[in-house]
A = this chain, B = another copy of it.
Amino acid sequence: MKTKDRILLKSLELFNADGERNVTTNHISAALNISPGNLYYHYRSKEDIIFALFQAYQASMLTSLGVPTDRVLTYEDKMGYLEAIFNQLWEYRFLHRDLGHLLEESQRLRRAYREFAREVMAQAYRVYAGLREADLVILEEHEARALIVNIWIITTNWASFVTSSGFFGDEVALDRNHLRRGLVQILSLEAPYLKGVAREKLPELWRRYELGEDESRPTPSQSVELGGLTD
């Protein structure tokens, strides 16, 4: 692997593990056993590295939201979108842990992030248009717009919700299964609009993500504190 790519990969690993704020370019070059000068030859600053990682995240996010042009969307496509999005959130989790701070520090990133948000939401809109054509969802235009914004907000903030709210218990470190549990929240957003096989499979899917079946089982500690709705 080229040094330039090794720097990116190691930075991503360290940012995710320790938080971007706690990692300097010196840490990165030390972890790679290269000189700081060598690192600076490839990236002039930490901000450069963060920006390159953001671009990689953006590219893979937009790729996984692609809509096939030669056939209608299937239920499997629909599930694939959700899984892919949450996988990428996990891979680049440092980005959303401290996004406000990252955006404040870099005008370039601020501009690129806005562009990204628009592209993803426009693409999500095309996905729902495709799902509508495939008779898997039924929703009006204003519902689609609001739904997509809600999906965006829930998706990009799920990780910080988990850590700030103590949803899985106090001072619990975020793991992949916690993140995956976020899919229940997206299912609940979509649920009212599902049709056909997408609707039929909903209860099974909900249960699977809620309980973390075929994965370990994080159980929300909050369940205990809420009484029954029908009491």
Identify the A interface with B (CB < 8 A): 97-101, 103, 110-111, 113-114, 117-118, 121-122, 125, 128-129, 132, 139-147, 149-150, 152-154, 156-158, 160-161, 164-167, 170-171, 184-185, 187-189, 191-192, 206, 210, 222-223, 225-231
Contact = CB atoms under 8 A, between A and B. Distances in A.
B152 A117 contact: no
Contact of A160 (B100, B141, B142, B191): B100
A69 to B, nearest CB: 15
A143 B222 contact: no
Contact of A165 (B98, B118, B139, B167): B118
A107 B184 CA distance: 29
A114 to B, nearest CB: 4
A165 B132 CA distance: 26
Contacts of A226: 121-122, 125, 145
Given A114-B170, A142-B210, A146-B187, 5 more contacts: A110-B164, A132-B229, A149-B185, A153-B157, A154-B154
- The majority secondary structure among interface residues of chain A is helix
Contact of A117 (B128, B156, B165, B223): B165
Contacts of A227: 125
B166 A114 contact: yes
Contacts of A157: 153, 156-157
Nearest to A139: B229
Contacts of A164: 99-100, 103, 110, 113-114, 117
Contacts of A97: 100
Given A153-B185, A154-B153, A222-B121, A231 B165 contact: no
Contacts of A230: 129, 141
Contacts of A110: 164, 171
A115 B157 CA distance: 19
Contacts of A132: 229
Contact of A143 (B103, B188, B223): B188
6 contacts: A99-B164, A118-B222, A125-B226, A145-B226, A149-B167, A150-B185
